[in-house]
Amino acid sequence: MRISHPMHRWLAGLLLSAASAVAMAQAARPHVVVLATGGTIAGAGASAANSATYAAAKVPVDKLLAGLPELASVARVSGEQVFQIASESFTNDHLLQLGKRVSALAKQADVDGIVITHGTDTLEETAYFLNLVVRTTKPIVVVGSMRPGTALSADGALNLYDAVGVAASKDAAGKGVLVTMNDEIQSGRDVSKTINIKTEAFKSQWGPLGMVVEGKNYWFRAPVKRHTSASEFNIDEIQALPAVDIVYGYGNMNTTGIEAYGKAGVKALVHAGTGNGSVAAQAVPALQALRAQGVQVVRSARVPDGFVLRNAEQPDDKYDWVVAHDLRPQKARILAMVALTKTNDSKELQRIFWEY
C-alpha cells in the first residue's frame, strides 16, 4: 500500500529507524558459538525432585538455548550439536573432533568466543586438552551442570548464562580455556571435579581466576603456565593420539595392571601413586621393565592437592621417569598424549610437564 500522508511517512520512517537500530545493536554484540556435547546440562529427570537420578544428554542445543532468552542481551548466540553423550564416554576421537571444530571456529573473523557444554565427569580433561592444543586468544569456556534442567534449583541455566557472558568478554581473552560454573571462573588446566552431589563440584587448589556476579566478571589472578596461543602444540597438526593409560597405587598393590598395559602396547603409563607419588616396592621393577621397553613412566599422585617432587620418594633421574608436577593423573594422561605427538625423549617430556 502506498504511503502518502505525511504522518504515515513519518511513522514509517520512525519504525524503519527503530528496526535498523535494533539490527545494528544486535550486530554489534559479540558472536558466541555454543558447541553442545551432551552431559547433565542437557539431562532430564523423571520429576523435579530428581537432582541426582536422571538421564544425561537428552536436550538438544536449540532447546537449551531457547530456554534461556536472557542470552540475547549478552551476545548473538548460535549453537551446534557436536555430540550428545555422557562425558564418561568421551574417547580420544571425540577430543580430536571437538578440538578441530573449536580451532576452525576460532579462526573465523565473525566468531568472538566459544562455549562448550559438557558432562562434568570428564569436563576437566577436555578443558585441559583444548587448553593445550587450540591456538587462539579468543575466549573458550567449557561449562556443565551438576543438576539436570528439570530439577529444583537446577544450576545449568545460570552456568550457561555466565559462560556465554565470559566468552563474549574482551577481558577473558588470552587467559586460556576457562571453566565457568557455580559463579566461579576456573582455569581449565587447574580445575578438577571434587564432589559428585554438590553444585560447587569444581575446585582448584590454586583458587579460581575470578568470579561472575550478575553477568559481570571479576578477575583476581591469571594463569602462568603455557597455553593456547603460546602452546607448541596445534590441534590442526594432530591426527591421532597415542595410547596412554593410568594405573592406581594402593596398599598391597600387585603388578598385574602394569604388565597388562605393557602388553597392550601403551606408549606411556601414568602411575597414580600414594602421597608424593610413592611407588610400592613390588611395583618398581615392573615399571622399570616397562621403561626399558621404551614406554614412558609418569609418576603422578592420587591425592587431590599438592605436587610430585622429582627425585623424592623415587630416584626419577636414575630410572628415567617423568614426574607430573601438580597435574592429577587424568590430566597427566592428557598432557602425556599430547606431548608424545611431538617427542618421545624423557627430558623433553619433563620440560613439557614443568611448562604446561
Task: Print the domain residue range for 109.
Answer: 30-230
For 328-337, the pLDDT digits (tens) are 999 999 999 9
Of the chain, the percentage scoring pLDDT greater than 70 comes to 92
* pLDDT on residue 164: 98
Confidence at 12, pLDDT banded by 50, 70, 90: low
Report whether pLDDT(147) > 80: yes
DSSP designation for 349: H
Same-domain check for residues 81 and 210:
yes
Residue 251 has pLDDT above 60, yes or no: yes
pLDDT tens string 109-120? 999 999 999 999
Segments of 253-324 assigned E as strands: 268-273, 296-301, 322-323
Q: Is the residue at 248 inside a domain? A: yes
Q: What is the mean pLDDT of the chain?
A: 94
Region 214-230: mean pLDDT is 97
> SS3 breakdown of the chain: % helix, strand, coil, rounded to 5?
40, 20, 40
The reported pLDDT for the residue numbered 52 is 85
Of residues 205, 187, 203, the one with CA closest to residue 195: 203
Q: Do the beta carbons of residue 125 and residue 202 sit within 8 Å?
A: no
pLDDT of 23 higher than 80: no
CATH number at residue 314: 3.40.50.40
Whether 130 is covered by a domain: the verdict is: yes
- Which pLDDT value is given to residue 21? 43
- 49: in domain: yes
Distance between CA 287 and CA 315 in Å, rounded?
13
pLDDT > 90: percent of the chain: 89
Question: What are 37-82's pLDDT values in tens digits?
Answer: 999 999 998 998 898 888 998 999 999 999 999 999 999 999 999 9
State the Cα–Cα distance between residues 55 and 43, nearest whole angstrom: 5
Q: For residue 17, what is its C-alpha cell?
A: 529507524
Bridge partner list, 293 = none
Region 266-275: what's the mean pLDDT?
98
**Under a CB-based contact definition with an 8 Å cutoff, are residues 56 and 105 in contact?**
no
d(CA 48, CA 20): 42
Average pLDDT over residues 290-318: 97
Measuring CA to CA, which residue among 239, 235, 297, 240 is closest to residue 266? Answer: 297
Quick one: pLDDT at residue 28? Answer: 85
pLDDT of residue 51: 83
Measured over all CA atoms, what is the biggest interatomic distance in the chain, rounded to whole angstroms? 96
Q: How far apart are CA 218 and CA 10, in angstroms?
A: 46
Q: Which of 53-62, 161-170, 239-248 has the lowest mean pLDDT?
A: 53-62
The answer on 217 and 98 residing in a single domain is yes
For residue 13, what pLDDT is reported? Answer: 59
C-alpha cell at 201: 563440584
Cα four-point dihedral sign 96, 97, 103, 104: positive
Determine if residue 151 is left, alpha or beta; phi over 0 gives left, psi from -120 to 50 gives alpha, anything else beta. Answer: beta
- How many domains is the chain built from? 2
Residue 98 belongs to domain with CATH number: 3.40.50.1170
Q: Is the model more confident about 4 or about 128?
A: 128
Closest CA to 175 of 196, 189, 154: 189
Domain annotation covers residue 50: yes
The reply to whether 198 falls in a domain is yes
Binding residues: 87, 120-121
Are 222 and 246 part of one and the same domain? no
- Residue 290 falls within a domain, yes or no? yes
Neighbouring-strand partners of residue 114: 33, 140
DSSP line for 88-147 = GG--HHHHHHHHHHHHHHHH-TT--EEEEE--SSSHHHHHHHHHHH----S-EEEE--SS
Q: What is the pLDDT of residues 189-221, one digit of tens each?
A: 999 999 999 999 999 999 999 999 999 999 999
Residues 158 and 286 in one domain: no
pLDDT at residue 19, as a whole number:
44
Binding residues for substrate: 87, 120-121
Active site members: 40, 120
Q: What is the pLDDT of residue 53?
A: 86
DSSP 82: E
Are 63 and 178 members of one domain? yes
Residue 216 belongs to a domain: yes
Q: What is the pLDDT of residue 16?
A: 53
Given 230, 252, 274, which residue is the final one in a domain? 230
pLDDT at 171: 97
Q: State the pLDDT at residue 332.
A: 98
Is residue 133 a contact partner of residue 53, using CB atoms and an 8 Å limit?
A: no
Q: Is 5 a member of any domain?
A: no
The reply to whether 154 and 40 lie within a common domain is yes
User: Which pLDDT does position 18 carry in this prediction?
Assistant: 46
Same domain, 120 and 200: yes
